[in-house]
Structure 1
Amino acid sequence: MTLPEQSPEIARPVASTPHADAGETRRGVIAALAAYLLWGFLPILFRLLEAAGAVLIVAERTVWSLVLLAGVLFVVKGFPEVRSLLADWRKMRIIALSALLLVGNWLLYVWAVETGQVLEASFGYFINPLVNVAIGMIFLGERQNRLQTIAIVIAAIAILIQAAGLGNVPYVALGLAFSFGFYGFIRKTAQAGPATGLFAETLVVAPFAMAYIVFDIATNGPGAHADPTMMLLLVLTGPATAVPLLLFAYGVRRLRLTTIGMFQYLAPSIQFLVAILLFGEQLNSLRLLSFVLIWLSLVVFSYDSFRQRRARLA
């Protein structure tokens, strides 16, 4: 998961006394853990909605996310920031591009859940931090140290082994990792807060989402909308999208980035277990080896991040 920028609409200044700092840190840990737990169990919701189809699920997810975020921004008085963002055409062009990447990521992820590829999806989010490093190297000219290079090489070997285990290139894993990696890369240049930026992104694609929902109802009948349980689950895709983001933004404001860095592996780990224990996906020896290697690369990567932070503080 990428780290969204801090935003005044959800990240208020915190007190600086030791007692207050301890309380803020504790609340930050709870918020971040809750966010990653929700992200980890998200495939269960999408599997329950399998009959609705990936495109309709994403369309509904977009609309209900917009509704919930509008409510949040109204409560925290964030609409002046939204108006400022919408009036900035340079930022909105970036937001439109990030919205396309985000929706593409959503579609691919929901389709992966529907087609029994949650293991591969979790693999994609495991390699996402290393994809972010690779993007920095290629597009920002960032130079990596020896440990970071070793982590990337191990990850590349893991991807090759994953391909051997699947019998083809792990397009889902790579698609998820790179779409989310480029989403974070492009999104940062817009300099918009998490809730404000996500609201603007969903606002950009909401007309297309609404058009598809109307088209689907006109073509196929009410379908999932006529089933109260399915309709409730579709509505829940909005909170399932927005609430983890807001919890995460609250947590990242109060925690060190190294702490957040350790938490980011929780969601794909849960997805890995959900795929095997609940969905019955098969994990052959080659695929298991690829996961072991990607975990090893993340250990190396995390150790290097921790080592660099300690060196800066020394």
Structure 2
Amino acid sequence: MTSEDQGSTRAGLLFGIGAYGLWGAMPVYFLLMKPAGAFEIVGMRIVFSLVFCLLLLGVTRGFGRFRGVLRDRSAVASFALAGALIWVNWTVYVIASTSGRVVDAALGYFINPIVTILLGVVVLRERLRPVQWVAIGVSALAVVVLAVETGSLPWISLALAASFGFYGLVKKRLGRVDAVSGLTLETAWLVPVAIVQLIVVGTTSGLAWGTAGWFPTLMLTSAGIGTAVPLLLFAASTRRLPLSIVGFLQYVAPILQLAIGVAVLHEPMSSARWTGFALVWAALAILVGESVVRSRPRRAAAVPADSAA
């Protein structure tokens, strides 16, 4: 590996850690917006994300790329679906963050890789290896344990995992579109929904933005930057790192969320709950271990070719 490649890899790691670190710290960010409720936070996040993206397109002279995306009817329709899925994800995540359910949110993002594999089977008709089926079975057992412990399904965790899993599936098919143009189009689709949300909140409980003091107003106004910056860091990371390393980095976010929920917000963790998490971690360890083992023959086979070059 050349010094240039090493520098690119180090930058990719820093960008990736920055992206997932910011995503992991989001519960604290949302709590700083109080007394704003979840629907106001999501509405402001959508509106100010669009404003920030439009400014970013202007600064980077990206409107030409954006107009090209608008001419692609299939992409426009797909981004409408992506927008709907990310609205569900954002709404559930903010509700969890502002109602003392951060640990449930962390569980959802731990489960997400398992859901992604299941979507590959159901939607893309992929065939799973036996070890992957074992991991899915262990994860299903974890959900059962948590359901018995709470008396109901962990709907926040499952909703987050499913919405982000489907969102990733849609975005995978739109890989030709750059991150800023994609986020701009997604949020543009959602702005009418956001306006309705903000009107309803304003006419019922009242908006915190502009009325609850300068700090909550500042936090709500910064929601566009808080949404776009991690996404841009993530895009920069994926351009510099192998997908396998990015896959490892994704666990930074739920680890931080779990730490915030338990150590900072003091959410209750019963023995049954820890058992459920342990089973999910075991399933992830199975997947990661199997992936590492399968990659070794490919790396070994690549050594003679690299040496001969």
Given the two structures, how large is their TM-score scaled by the length of structure 1? 0.90
Q: Report the residue type matching 1:43 in the other structure.
A: P
**Cα-to-partner distance string for 1:47-78 (whole Å, 9 max, x where unaligned):** 22242111110010011111222222222222
The corresponding residue for 2:189 is: 204
In 1, the alpha carbon distance for the partners of 2:206 and 2:292 equals 55
1:215 deviates by 4.8
1:276 to 262, 271, 281: 262
- Cα distance change, pair 273–221 in 1 and its aligned pair in 2 (3 A): closer
Q: For residues 141 and 74 of structure 1, do their structure 2 counterparts lie closer, same or farther at Cα, with a shift above 3 Å needed? A: same
1:87 to 71, 77, 87: 71
Unpaired runs of 5+ residues, structure 2, are 302-309
The runs of 4+ residues in structure 1 deviating greater than 6 Å are: none
What secondary structure sits across from 1:224 in the alignment? coil
| Residue matched to 2:307 | none
- Does the 8 Å contact 1:225/1:231 carry over to 2? yes
Q: Which residue of 2 aligns with 1:6?
A: none
Alignment of 1:111-126 (within 5 A): 111-126=95-110
1:58-99 Cα distance to aligned partner (Å, 9 max, x none): 010011111222222222222111111112222111111110
Structure 1, unaligned stretches of length 5 or more? 1-16
Give yes or no for contact 1:118–1:271 (8 Å, CA) kept in 2.
yes
Partners of 1:218 and 1:272 in 2: CA distance: 35
Give the corresponding residue for 2:236: 250
Q: CA deviation at 1:246?
A: 0.5
Q: Deviations over 1:179-198 (max 9, x none)?
A: 11011112222342222111
Check whether the contact 2:35–2:216 (CA below 8 A) recurs between aligned residues: no
CA distance in 2, matches of 1:222, 1:44: 20
Superposed, 1:1-314 pairs within 5 Å as 18-191=2-175, 192-217=177-202, 220-221=205-206, 223-226=208-211, 227-313=213-299, 314=301
Q: CA deviation at 1:214?
A: 4.3
Q: Distance in 2 between matches of 1:222 and 1:112?
A: 20
Residue type of the partner of 1:139?
V
CA displacement at 1:294 relative to structure 2: 0.7
Distance 1:222 1:117, change over 3 A: closer
Q: CA deviation at 1:18?
A: 0.9
Is 1:258–1:306's contact at 8 Å kept on the other side of the alignment? no
Q: How far apart, CA to CA, are the structure 1 residues paired with 2:257 and 2:291?
A: 24
Aligned pair count reads 298
SS in 2 for 1:190: coil
In structure 2, what is the Cα distance between the partners aligned to 1:74 and 1:193? 15
- The 10-residue stretch of structure 1 (212-221 or 96-105) with the greater mean CA deviation from structure 2: 212-221
Secondary structure in 2 matching 1:225: coil
Secondary structure of 1:209's aligned partner? helix
Change (3 A) 1:162 1:220: closer
Q: Could you tell me how far apart the structure 1 residues matched to 2:152 and 2:207 are?
A: 38
How far does the alpha carbon of each residue in 1:142-174 deviate from its partner, in whole angstroms, 9 at most, with x for none? Answer: 111122111111111111111122221001100
Q: 1:26 to 1:72 in 2, by over 3 A?
A: same
CA distance in 2 between counterparts of 1:272 and 1:80 reads 41
2-side partners of 1:143 and 1:109: how far apart?
A: 31
Q: Please, which moves more after superposition, 170-179 or 215-224?
A: 215-224
Tell me the CA shift for residue 223 of structure 1: 3.5
Q: Any idea what SS the aligned residue of 2:156 has?
A: helix
Provide the residue aligned with 1:14 in structure 2: none
